[in-house]
């Protein structure tokens, strides 16, 4: 397989290019021209309707580096799942595949019962998805990055309303009313007119959370959202997220190094190592009685 071109950074999310899986055998769940050995109707492979996200035999390579190695997992509607594991184990790559900032090398990513990494052709086969298809398919997914990435030339209100107005066509007054509600939710009701440079890092990150929620996503991806913050600002952001986890029915997929936060908000924790899940279970198991030595070793190092 050819080495991939440089990937977009979180700061400059560019539209996803064509999948690098083109020309390689298609995943088991994607019978069709790319998978000559596979038989059976595509419909049979559709995820369970309660599953909102499903990774099916997903492989992600960067050049010779296999970052995700035939990864299978799913997340149910409304579930809060946290990914933990050592640096470089592939956690962020999973979120970036869901945002279509990266493309799978093999396998299929499904969201809401429809393929995200691929699109269905008229004959029922799955082919690597076009940029246009993915732009539409990822609309129900929001992400908060480590760096807040607010628009510096727009005030807080406009940072939040910009995407709903331009991408979803929400009328401006409606978008503004919702933005004000969200600002209240994140404890920044009085900052609508401020500019990002007038806010602390923690406040900027709370605006970024409000901005992600303004798109009314079904799925919220959180990628180490407190890593860039001064220690005294971390608790405020985590409290806002705890509230969101408790009071909304949003599905959360979260990468964090904050183990007590993971313990608080998660229904399930997935422990990763070298692109594979080494253990999966409720926080009581993972943090209380981990079954795998690799999990115990990792937690000894970080707790
Ligand atoms: N665009 C890229 N090009 C080449 N290699 C990449 C790219 N993005 C990630 N990688 C590599 O993929 C591997 C997994 O990275 P990833 O960021 O998913 O790990 P992680 O578990 O989230 O780590 P951390 O906890 O440090 O954020 C690393 O070896 C990383 O260097």
Task: Say how many Å lie between the CA of residue 193 and the centre of ligand 1.
Answer: 37
- What are the residue ranges in the chain where pLDDT is below 70? 1-49
Give the closest residue (by CA) to ligand 1 atom 1.
Answer: 7
Give the closest residue (by CA) to ligand 1 atom 3.
Answer: 62
Q: Which helix (H) or strand (E) holds 159?
A: helix 156-168
Task: Say how many Å lie between the CA of residue 98 and the centre of ligand 1.
Answer: 15
Using DSSP's 3-state secondary structure scheme, residue 141 falls into: strand
Atom of ligand 1 nearest to the CA of 85: 21
Task: Say how many Å lie between the CA of residue 92 and the centre of ligand 1.
Answer: 7
Give the closest residue (by CA) to ligand 1 atom 9.
Answer: 93
Question: Contact 148/207 with Cβ under 8 angstroms?
Answer: yes
Give the contacts of 219 (CB within 8 A, at least 6 positions apart).
Answer: 52, 53, 75, 98, 111, 140, 141, 142, 250, 251, 252, 253
Give the closest residue (by CA) to ligand 1 atom 18.
Answer: 90
DSSP 114: E
Atom of ligand 1 nearest to the CA of 257: 25
Q: What local confidence, expressed as pLDDT, does residue 24 receive?
A: 30
Instruction: Quickly count: other Cβ atoms within 10 Å of residue 90's Cβ.
Output: 22
Task: Say how many Å lie between the CA of residue 276 and the centre of ligand 1.
Answer: 14
Q: What local confidence, expressed as pLDDT, does residue 50 receive?
A: 87
Give the closest residue (by CA) to ligand 1 atom 16.
Answer: 90
Question: Contact 210/182 with Cβ under 8 angstroms?
Answer: yes
Question: Contact 130/20 with Cβ under 8 angstroms?
Answer: no
Give the closest residue (by CA) to ligand 1 atom 29.
Answer: 88
Reported ipTM exceeds the 0.85 cut: yes
Q: What local confidence, expressed as pLDDT, does residue 46 receive?
A: 54
For residues 59, 10, 182, 242, the Cα torsion angle rounded to the nearest 10 degrees is 60
Q: What local confidence, expressed as pLDDT, does residue 117 receive?
A: 97
Q: Please count the residues of the chain.
A: 303
pTM of the model: 0.85
Give the closest residue (by CA) to ligand 1 atom 2.
Answer: 7
Atom of ligand 1 nearest to the CA of 94: 18
Q: What local confidence, expressed as pLDDT, does residue 88 receive?
A: 94
Atom of ligand 1 nearest to the CA of 255: 22
223 has which bridge partners? 255
Choose one of 14, 85, 91, 256 to mutate for the ligand 1 pocket test, by most ligand atoms within 8 angstroms of C-beta.
91
Residues with CB under 6 A from ligand 1: 7, 62, 65, 67, 85, 87-93, 255
Q: What local confidence, expressed as pLDDT, does residue 47 receive?
A: 56
């Amino acid at each position: 397989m050819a080495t991939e071109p440089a990937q977009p950074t979180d700061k400059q999310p560019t539209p996803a290019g064509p999948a690098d899986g083109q020309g390689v055998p298609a995943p088991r769940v994607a019978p069709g021209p790319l998978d000559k050995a596979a038989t059976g109707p595509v419909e049979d492979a559709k995820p369970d309707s309660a599953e909102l996200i499903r990774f099916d035999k997903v492989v992600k390579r960067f050049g010779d580096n296999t970052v995700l190695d035939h990864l299978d997992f799913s997340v149910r509607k409304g579930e809060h799942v946290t990914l933990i594991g050592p640096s470089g184990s592939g956690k962020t790559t999973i979120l970036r595949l869901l945002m279509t900032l990266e493309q799978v090398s093999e396998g299929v990513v499904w969201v809401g019962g429809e393929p995200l990494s691929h699109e269905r052709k008229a004959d029922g086969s799955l082919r690597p998805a076009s940029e246009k298809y993915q732009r539409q398919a990822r609309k129900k997914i929001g992400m908060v990055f480590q760096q807040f990435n607010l628009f510096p030339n727009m005030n807080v209100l406009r940072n939040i309303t910009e995407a709903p107005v331009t991408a979803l066509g929400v009328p401006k007054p409606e978008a503004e009313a919702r933005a004000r509600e969200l600002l209240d939710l994140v404890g920044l009701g009085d900052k609508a007119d401020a500019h990002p440079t007038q806010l602390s890092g923690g406040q900027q990150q709370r605006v970024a959370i409000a901005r992600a929620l303004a798109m009314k996503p079904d799925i919220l991806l959180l990628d180490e959202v407190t890593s860039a913050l001064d220690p005294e600002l971390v608790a405020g952001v985590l409290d806002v997220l705890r509230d969101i986890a408790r009071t909304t029915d949003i599905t959360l997929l979260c990468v964090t190094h904050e183990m007590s936060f993971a313990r608080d908000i998660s229904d399930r924790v997935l422990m990763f190592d070298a692109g594979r899940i080494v253990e999966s279970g409720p926080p009581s198991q993972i943090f209380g009685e981990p079954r795998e030595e690799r999990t115990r070793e990792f937690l000894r190092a970080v707790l």
